[in-house]
Amino acid sequence: MGLGLGAGSGARAGTGVGAGGGTAAGAPLRFAVLGDSLAAGLGVDEPDQLPGVLLARGLADETGRAVRLETHAVSGSTTRDLPAQVDRVVADPPDVALVIVGANDVTTRTSVAASAALLGAQVRRLRAAGVGVVVGTCPDLGTVRPIAEPLRSVARGWSSRLARAQRVEVERAGGTAVAMGEVLAPEFTRRADYFSRDRFHPSAVGYEAATSILLAPLCGVLRHEWWPR
Protein backbone atom coordinates (compact mmCIF):
# COMPACT_ATOMS: atom_id res chain seq x y z
CA MET A 1 0.00 0.00 0.00
CA GLY A 2 1.39 3.41 -0.89
CA LEU A 3 0.64 6.89 0.33
CA GLY A 4 1.73 9.87 -1.70
CA LEU A 5 1.44 13.60 -1.11
CA GLY A 6 -1.37 15.24 -2.99
CA ALA A 7 -0.65 17.63 -5.82
CA GLY A 8 0.39 21.02 -4.55
CA SER A 9 0.72 19.96 -0.92
CA GLY A 10 3.98 20.49 0.90
CA ALA A 11 5.92 17.65 2.46
CA ARG A 12 5.66 19.14 5.92
CA ALA A 13 1.88 19.44 5.60
CA GLY A 14 1.59 15.69 5.21
CA THR A 15 -1.61 15.98 3.21
CA GLY A 16 -2.37 13.41 0.55
CA VAL A 17 -4.25 10.36 -0.52
CA GLY A 18 -3.29 6.81 0.42
CA ALA A 19 -4.68 3.83 -1.48
CA GLY A 20 -5.91 0.99 0.65
CA GLY A 21 -4.93 -2.59 -0.03
CA GLY A 22 -8.53 -3.83 -0.18
CA THR A 23 -11.22 -3.56 -2.82
CA ALA A 24 -13.89 -1.66 -0.86
CA ALA A 25 -15.66 0.91 -3.00
CA GLY A 26 -16.61 4.43 -2.04
CA ALA A 27 -15.03 7.77 -1.35
CA PRO A 28 -11.78 7.87 0.61
CA LEU A 29 -11.97 7.95 4.38
CA ARG A 30 -10.99 11.41 5.57
CA PHE A 31 -8.57 11.67 8.47
CA ALA A 32 -7.61 15.01 10.05
CA VAL A 33 -4.71 15.69 12.40
CA LEU A 34 -4.84 18.67 14.75
CA GLY A 35 -2.63 20.02 17.49
CA ASP A 36 1.00 20.98 17.98
CA SER A 37 4.43 19.99 16.68
CA LEU A 38 4.00 16.41 17.90
CA ALA A 39 0.89 16.08 15.75
CA ALA A 40 2.60 17.81 12.82
CA GLY A 41 5.66 15.56 13.05
CA LEU A 42 8.45 18.03 13.77
CA GLY A 43 11.72 16.13 14.12
CA VAL A 44 11.58 13.77 11.13
CA ASP A 45 13.38 14.18 7.82
CA GLU A 46 11.07 12.48 5.33
CA PRO A 47 7.34 12.93 4.57
CA ASP A 48 6.65 9.22 4.93
CA GLN A 49 7.91 9.37 8.55
CA LEU A 50 5.26 11.91 9.62
CA PRO A 51 2.86 10.51 12.23
CA GLY A 52 -0.18 11.48 10.18
CA VAL A 53 1.18 9.63 7.17
CA LEU A 54 2.02 6.55 9.25
CA LEU A 55 -1.49 6.50 10.69
CA ALA A 56 -3.16 7.12 7.32
CA ARG A 57 -1.29 4.12 5.95
CA GLY A 58 -2.40 2.04 8.90
CA LEU A 59 -6.01 3.10 8.48
CA ALA A 60 -5.89 2.28 4.78
CA ASP A 61 -4.46 -1.15 5.50
CA GLU A 62 -7.06 -1.87 8.18
CA THR A 63 -10.08 -0.61 6.26
CA GLY A 64 -9.13 -1.50 2.69
CA ARG A 65 -10.13 2.04 1.76
CA ALA A 66 -8.17 4.99 0.43
CA VAL A 67 -7.50 7.56 3.15
CA ARG A 68 -7.35 11.30 2.67
CA LEU A 69 -5.00 12.90 5.21
CA GLU A 70 -5.66 16.51 6.19
CA THR A 71 -3.06 18.03 8.52
CA HIS A 72 -4.12 21.15 10.43
CA ALA A 73 -1.58 20.85 13.26
CA VAL A 74 0.80 23.80 13.71
CA SER A 75 4.13 23.65 15.51
CA GLY A 76 4.15 25.70 18.69
CA SER A 77 0.40 25.50 19.26
CA THR A 78 -1.11 25.44 22.71
CA THR A 79 -4.66 24.38 23.44
CA ARG A 80 -5.64 28.04 23.11
CA ASP A 81 -4.71 27.78 19.41
CA LEU A 82 -6.89 24.71 18.88
CA PRO A 83 -10.22 26.52 18.18
CA ALA A 84 -8.85 28.00 14.94
CA GLN A 85 -7.84 24.53 13.75
CA VAL A 86 -11.23 23.13 14.72
CA ASP A 87 -12.91 25.97 12.80
CA ARG A 88 -11.26 24.71 9.62
CA VAL A 89 -12.15 21.09 10.33
CA VAL A 90 -15.84 21.57 11.15
CA ALA A 91 -16.31 23.67 8.00
CA ASP A 92 -15.93 20.41 6.04
CA PRO A 93 -15.94 17.57 8.58
CA PRO A 94 -13.78 14.47 8.03
CA ASP A 95 -14.65 10.98 9.27
CA VAL A 96 -12.16 10.90 12.13
CA ALA A 97 -9.67 13.26 13.74
CA LEU A 98 -6.60 12.88 15.91
CA VAL A 99 -5.67 15.66 18.34
CA ILE A 100 -2.31 15.85 20.10
CA VAL A 101 -1.82 18.96 22.22
CA GLY A 102 -0.63 19.92 25.68
CA ALA A 103 3.17 19.97 25.73
CA ASN A 104 3.30 23.70 25.00
CA ASP A 105 0.65 24.33 27.66
CA VAL A 106 3.13 22.88 30.15
CA THR A 107 6.08 24.93 28.89
CA THR A 108 3.96 28.11 28.96
CA ARG A 109 2.59 27.22 32.40
CA THR A 110 -1.03 27.34 31.30
CA SER A 111 -3.55 26.37 33.97
CA VAL A 112 -4.26 22.63 33.88
CA ALA A 113 -7.98 23.17 34.49
CA ALA A 114 -8.32 25.86 31.82
CA SER A 115 -6.32 23.89 29.27
CA ALA A 116 -8.27 20.68 29.79
CA ALA A 117 -11.64 22.46 29.72
CA LEU A 118 -10.77 24.17 26.44
CA LEU A 119 -9.74 20.84 24.92
CA GLY A 120 -13.02 19.30 26.02
CA ALA A 121 -14.93 22.13 24.39
CA GLN A 122 -13.14 21.61 21.08
CA VAL A 123 -13.71 17.85 21.17
CA ARG A 124 -17.39 18.59 21.77
CA ARG A 125 -17.45 20.81 18.67
CA LEU A 126 -15.87 18.08 16.56
CA ARG A 127 -18.31 15.46 17.84
CA ALA A 128 -21.27 17.77 17.18
CA ALA A 129 -20.06 18.02 13.58
CA GLY A 130 -20.10 14.22 13.30
CA VAL A 131 -16.36 13.69 13.57
CA GLY A 132 -14.95 10.73 15.50
CA VAL A 133 -12.22 11.99 17.83
CA VAL A 134 -9.12 10.41 19.34
CA VAL A 135 -6.91 12.53 21.59
CA GLY A 136 -3.34 11.68 22.46
CA THR A 137 -3.01 13.25 25.90
CA CYS A 138 -0.03 15.33 27.00
CA PRO A 139 3.31 13.49 26.77
CA ASP A 140 5.59 13.14 29.79
CA LEU A 141 7.99 16.06 29.51
CA GLY A 142 10.03 14.51 32.29
CA THR A 143 11.57 12.28 29.61
CA VAL A 144 13.21 15.27 27.87
CA ARG A 145 16.86 15.07 28.87
CA PRO A 146 17.91 18.70 28.20
CA ILE A 147 15.46 19.89 30.87
CA ALA A 148 17.58 20.03 34.02
CA GLU A 149 16.42 19.11 37.49
CA PRO A 150 14.46 20.28 39.39
CA LEU A 151 12.56 21.62 36.38
CA ARG A 152 12.36 18.16 34.86
CA SER A 153 10.45 16.86 37.87
CA VAL A 154 8.17 19.90 37.75
CA ALA A 155 7.53 19.29 34.05
CA ARG A 156 6.79 15.61 34.70
CA GLY A 157 4.27 16.43 37.40
CA TRP A 158 2.59 19.17 35.39
CA SER A 159 2.31 17.08 32.24
CA SER A 160 0.94 14.14 34.23
CA ARG A 161 -1.74 16.30 35.86
CA LEU A 162 -2.68 17.79 32.50
CA ALA A 163 -2.90 14.37 30.84
CA ARG A 164 -5.27 13.13 33.54
CA ALA A 165 -7.45 16.23 33.29
CA GLN A 166 -7.48 15.99 29.49
CA ARG A 167 -8.66 12.41 29.66
CA VAL A 168 -11.60 13.33 31.88
CA GLU A 169 -12.68 16.22 29.64
CA VAL A 170 -12.22 14.31 26.39
CA GLU A 171 -14.29 11.36 27.58
CA ARG A 172 -17.00 13.69 28.89
CA ALA A 173 -17.13 15.29 25.45
CA GLY A 174 -17.55 11.93 23.69
CA GLY A 175 -13.99 11.44 22.47
CA THR A 176 -11.46 8.66 23.03
CA ALA A 177 -8.36 9.50 25.08
CA VAL A 178 -5.02 7.69 24.75
CA ALA A 179 -2.56 8.15 27.64
CA MET A 180 0.56 8.73 25.55
CA GLY A 181 2.78 9.84 28.43
CA GLU A 182 1.88 6.92 30.66
CA VAL A 183 2.39 4.33 27.94
CA LEU A 184 5.43 5.76 26.17
CA ALA A 185 7.46 7.37 28.98
CA PRO A 186 9.40 4.21 29.95
CA GLU A 187 10.67 3.70 26.39
CA PHE A 188 11.43 7.41 25.82
CA THR A 189 13.33 7.45 29.11
CA ARG A 190 15.35 4.38 28.19
CA ARG A 191 16.06 5.01 24.51
CA ALA A 192 17.86 8.16 23.40
CA ASP A 193 17.21 7.24 19.75
CA TYR A 194 13.49 7.93 20.31
CA PHE A 195 14.38 11.63 20.22
CA SER A 196 15.38 13.67 17.17
CA ARG A 197 18.51 15.79 16.89
CA ASP A 198 16.91 18.63 18.88
CA ARG A 199 16.53 16.17 21.81
CA PHE A 200 13.01 17.45 22.43
CA HIS A 201 10.82 16.16 19.60
CA PRO A 202 10.56 12.47 18.70
CA SER A 203 12.65 10.90 15.97
CA ALA A 204 11.18 8.72 13.24
CA VAL A 205 11.54 5.76 15.62
CA GLY A 206 9.81 7.70 18.40
CA TYR A 207 6.90 8.68 16.18
CA GLU A 208 6.55 5.09 15.04
CA ALA A 209 6.22 4.05 18.69
CA ALA A 210 3.62 6.75 19.30
CA THR A 211 1.53 5.88 16.26
CA SER A 212 1.59 2.21 17.24
CA ILE A 213 -0.62 3.01 20.25
CA LEU A 214 -2.88 5.44 18.35
CA LEU A 215 -3.88 3.30 15.37
CA ALA A 216 -6.11 0.84 17.25
CA PRO A 217 -8.21 3.58 18.92
CA LEU A 218 -8.66 5.34 15.56
CA CYS A 219 -9.80 2.08 13.98
CA GLY A 220 -12.06 1.47 16.95
CA VAL A 221 -13.77 4.83 16.47
CA LEU A 222 -14.35 4.08 12.80
CA ARG A 223 -15.68 0.60 13.53
CA HIS A 224 -18.01 1.83 16.24
CA GLU A 225 -19.61 4.74 14.44
CA TRP A 226 -19.01 4.69 10.72
CA TRP A 227 -17.80 1.36 9.37
CA PRO A 228 -18.97 0.49 6.76
CA ARG A 229 -20.01 3.87 5.42
Active-site entry in 87, 153, 198, 224: 198
37 is catalytic: yes
Told to judge if 201 belongs to the known catalytic residues of this protein, a careful annotator would answer: yes
Catalytic residue among 77, 115, 201, 203: 201
**Per-residue three-class SS string for the chain:** CCEEECCCCCCCCCCEEECCCCCCCCCCEEEEEEECHHHHCCCCCCHHHCHHHHHHHHHHHHHCCCEEEEECCCCCCCHHHHHHHHHHHHHCCCCEEEEECCHHHHHCCCCHHHHHHHHHHHHHHHHHCCCEEEEECCCCHHHCCCCCCCHHHHHHHHHHHHHHHHHHHHHHCCCEEECHHHHHHHHHHHCHHHECCCCCCECHHHHHHHHHHHHHHHHHHHHHHCCCC
- 37, 77, 196, 203: the catalytic one is 37
Q: Enumerate the active-site residues.
A: 37, 198, 201
